[in-house]
Amino acid sequence: MTYRGGPRPQLPAPTRASGQRDAARRGRGTDAGHAAARIAYPLIAGKDYRAESLFRPEHLLREARRQRQLPEADVPAVALLDPDGDIVRFLRRTGRGRKHPGWACYHTEMWVTDLGGLEIGVVGCAVGASFAVLVAEQLAASGAQIVVSITSAGQIRAPDALPCFVLIERALRDEGTSAHYMPPGKWSHLDPPVARRLCETLHDFTPKVFAGASWTTDAPYRETEAAIQGAVREGIACVEMEAAALYAYAAARGRLVVCLAHITNTMATGGDDFEKGANNGADSSLSVAHAVAAALGFCPTQR
């Protein structure tokens, strides 16, 4: 076999030392291998969490407005992240939403809807920890005062009746983005006073909202049986892809973020999974988002 550049290069035969180094790099289940991986792994290397970033959301928004000739216009105070995009598609299909003229994100659109006199700006398809936080940073720079995230989630330990919502009080940090905002740790948390207020307000809400913990992962197709059993032992209700990073960002930046999981599936281990209910869950999700905003004083009648 030849390469386009010539004959296949001859590689040196592996030595015992090089094999040990390779095993260490891969972390093949040995303590020494994992230790070597930890030392070399940049994600958990020392970071200056107090330092300002050279690249800032305000800079990106400025250039997006310039290139796309967008007006400077604040977004609604209440912003809703819709990773699945079902709410955005519902608003567009039914005419209940309008496209925000000044949302200057390169990667997404914002659709604005009115819920009982409260404007909510909905951004769809911001899937995963890094993308969700990128958008949350831009929302704050654009005038949003609260970000509510409602994401689909897989069931770990939750009520039998699906779909249902979980108010995420803490999220297991099994992703990478949170490590850039907070020192290494096991959990990210919803602000405790906010959690208490919402638990009191949403206790008897319909559709049912339960308070609980989630597991945030960057790798949904690595939800192994061992990892799931570990989550069960931690008392985790569900698995999703954004909450731990969003809560770390909120804590580091002094922002208000509330994450809810819409538990719709058992990770496709059986049939009839991923069903959200009427209108793919858009009605119920908007209802929950409005209830969260109202409980935290964002409805016009409460100001």
Helix (H, G, I), strand (E, B) or coil at 221: helix
Q: What is the pLDDT of residue 38?
A: 54
Is the Cβ–Cβ distance between 136 and 81 less than 8 Å?
yes
Task: Check whether 265 has a pLDDT greater than 50.
Answer: yes
- In tens, the pLDDT along 174-211 reads 999 999 999 999 999 999 999 999 999 999 998 889 99
Kindly state whether residue 9 falls inside one of the protein's structural domains. Answer: no
User: How much is the average pLDDT of 33-60?
Assistant: 81
CA dihedral 132, 298, 110, 144 (to 10 degrees): -60
Kindly state whether residue 8 falls inside one of the protein's structural domains. Answer: no
- Taking CA atoms, 63 is separated from 104, 116, 149, 150, in Å, by 9, 35, 26, 29
Kindly state whether residue 51 falls inside one of the protein's structural domains. Answer: no
- In tens, the pLDDT along 214-231 reads 999 999 999 999 999 999
> Among 272, 264, 271, which Cα is nearest to 86's?
264
Kindly state whether residue 11 falls inside one of the protein's structural domains. Answer: no
pTM of the entire predicted model: 0.85
Kindly state whether residue 54 falls inside one of the protein's structural domains. Answer: no
Q: Domains in the chain: how many in total?
A: 1
Q: What CATH number did the domain enclosing 266 receive?
A: 3.40.50.1580
Kindly state whether residue 19 falls inside one of the protein's structural domains. Answer: no
CA distance 32 to 49: 29
State the DSSP string of 144-201. -SEEEEEEEEEESS--SSSSEEEEEEEEEEESSGGGGTS-S-SEEE--HHHHHHHHHH
Kindly state whether residue 42 falls inside one of the protein's structural domains. Answer: no
> Among 158, 141, 96, which Cα is nearest to 122's?
96
Please report the beta strands in the chain, taking only residues with DSSP state E, as ranges in sequence order.
Answer: 2-3, 6-7, 78-82, 97-99, 110-115, 118-124, 146-155, 164-174, 187-189, 209-217, 236-240, 257-265
- Give the model's confidence band at 157: pLDDT under 50 very low, under 70 low, under 90 confident, else very high: confident
**Domain, as residue range, for 263:** 66-297
